[in-house]
Amino acid sequence: MQKNNKIKKILIANRGEIAIRVSQTAKEMGIKTVSLYTEEELNLPHKSYSDESYNLGSGPLKDTYLNQDKIIDIAKKCGADAIHPGYGFLSEKSSFAKKVKEAGLIFIGPSPESIDLMGDKKTSKIKIQELGVPSIPGYHGDNQEMSHLIKEAHKIGFPVLIKASAGGGGKGMRIVFNENEFQAALEGAKREALNAFSDDTVLLEKYITSPRHIEIQVMSDQHGNHTHLFERECSIQRRYQKILEESPSPAVSPELRSRMTEAALKITKGINYEGAGTIELILDTDGSFYFLEMNTRLQVEHPVTEMVTGLDLVKLQIMVAQGDKLPYIQSDIKQRGHAIEVRLYAEDPDNDFLPSIGTIKKIGKSSVRDTRLDCGYVDGNVVTISFDPMLAKLISWGESRDSATKKLNLALNEILFLGLKTNRDYLKRILTLPEFKEGLTFTHFVKTYEAGLKPKEPNQEHLALAVAAYLFNSQEMTGPKQIFNKTTTAWENLSGFRNI
């Protein structure tokens, strides 16, 4: 146990908006920060936001952000005494957490043992069953023979879900509705799991047809204090990747919230957890809920929790890592108002979500109260296919869900990434869909309401308004011929972009 080992300098083993986010809090705490960047990222803002920055070189991720030894070596050379992994990359690699500790540095995250235990779907399911937490009926055994798995699928009852034991993010996952589909689905899941995780072990689970995805934010210190920070709903997903997150969930009553958070704390106490984590649950239509998995790191959607609790999760992570006690008790934490987060991606939802690359000409700023933009880019940055296509996260807060939704929609009108195709309009369609307003946010939301989420054909009035807005905002234009000036682009002629 590390007690009162005050952190003076943190190396952030990540990039983009989360690297900036961690650095912001560290600076407020009087802690120096060190950032990393690659040759492709010379002009990205996270490189210069920290007190120091170091070049990881170029090449595939295994040579840069996944190169454990190189990152630890930089941390030691620059005099850092702690490493924050952010999310993704090395954040849930127990081997990295072990190496950090062996190097005499503080890993700002849970113990390697907790990462190992909860990072494997099979071992985590066994453990939570021992703790008395409900889990989805399924098979988590070692026998991976086709004939045996088919028998287990029949015991569970179709439809079943085939899942890679070692992975996440929807990789190595297939839904099977009958025995005739089983063999092809199993072979596909195993092949994908082997490629993604070097492990083709799968487990089977009962597939719940209309589930909601609810997660409980937990925070524990090194002194045996285990707390929850209420729930977030992350049901609106595409291919198991989250699109929108909110807190509180429109489906969770006070009584259900109490049962869910109690189950989450059973887990953190039962494994003697330390730091921030998320207990992910599946909620059925009858109010039953089941353990899905635990993420042993900070989540992309952590700002939602920060908005409704007023707590800084990164600050709490740092405090816990240096041995401090949590500065509150459970009864101190209140869930106030409603917060929603959407993820802005460089992709074209209307063209099979194809990725978009290119130069960002201009990023809009929101004038809407109670909104927050966590962004890893500035004007002029180039977006490539080398990294995740997430450009930013936009979060809104309101006294009610309706208020938060309206503020988020208004802010999306202003948050443009000119020069790139993004999912901004698609997010607006989600927010204005009647089913979203009614809180019918199941995990099949995107597929079920696919027709309603398609773009509407512009009529003549819309086209005329678009042209008028363009002309109005083209302040540099002195005559109609300049619209077609070949030396400038449409993006460069736009100055009042927030009204388009």
Cα angle value 464/466/469 (rounded, 5°): 110
Look at the chain and count its residues: 500
Q: How far apart are CA 473 and CA 475, in angstroms?
A: 6
**What pLDDT, on the 0 to 100 scale, is given for residue 121?**
79
- Whether residue 120 lies inside any domain: the answer is no
Which residue reads 């999760």 in tokens?
313
Rounded CA-CA distance 331/83 in Å is 31
Token output for 356: 């978009």
Helix (H, G, I), strand (E, B) or coil at 117: helix
3-state secondary structure 388-421: CCEEEEEEEEECCHHHHHHHHHHHHHHCCEECCC
Rounded to two decimals, what is the model's pTM? 0.85
**Which residue reads 């960047």 in tokens?**
37
Residue 418: give its domain's CATH number: 3.30.470.20
DSSP calls for 159-176 = SEEEEETT--TTTTEEEE
Shared domain check, 235 and 365:
yes
| Residue 77 shares a structural domain with residue 194 | no
Q: Which residues pair with 238 in a beta bridge?
A: 241
Q: Count CA within 13 A, CB hemisphere, residue 73.
A: 8
Annotation marks residue 297 as catalytic: yes
Q: Tell me: do 194 and 277 sit in the same domain.
A: no
Residue 4 lies in a domain: no
Looking at residue 193, its pLDDT comes to 92
The DSSP call for residue 483 is: G
Task: Judge if 257 and 366 occupy the same domain.
Answer: yes
Q: Name 496's Cβ contacts closer than 8 Å, sequence gap at least 6.
A: 472, 473, 475
Instruction: Tell me whether residue 53 is in a domain.
Output: yes
Q: In terms of residue numbers, what domain contains 170? A: 137-206
User: Do residues 299 and 419 share a domain?
Assistant: yes
Listed in sequence order, the residues at least 6 apart from 7 whose beta carbon sits closer than 8 Å to its beta carbon are 31, 81, 82, 106, 318, 321, 322
Catalytic residue of the set 15, 232, 297, 401: 297
User: Which amino acid type is present at position 57?
Assistant: G
Specify if 116 maps to a domain: no
CB 92 within 8 A of CB 297: yes
* CA dist., res. 39 & res. 68, Å (int): 18
Q: Indicate the SS3 state at residue 148.
A: helix
284 and 351 both lie in a single domain = yes
Q: For each successive 10 residues of the chain (500 residues), what is the average pLDDT? A: 76 98 98 98 97 97 97 98 97 97 98 95 89 92 95 95 84 93 96 91 92 98 98 94 96 98 98 98 95 96 98 98 98 98 96 94 96 97 93 98 98 96 97 97 95 81 56 45 32 27
Determine, yes or no, domain membership for 114: no
69 and 157 inside one domain: no
Q: How far is Cα of residue 117 from the mean position of the Cα atoms in its chain?
A: 21
Could you give the CA distance from residue 489 to residue 474 in angstroms, rounded to a whole number? 11
- DSSP label of 222: T
What is the total count of domains within the chain? 4
- Contact criterion met (CB below 8 Å) for 387 and 381: no
Q: Provide the residue type at 299 as one letter.
A: Q
Q: For residue 211, give the nearest of 291, 266, 141, 146 by alpha carbon.
A: 291
CATH number where 31 lies = 3.40.50.20
475 and 445 together in one domain: no
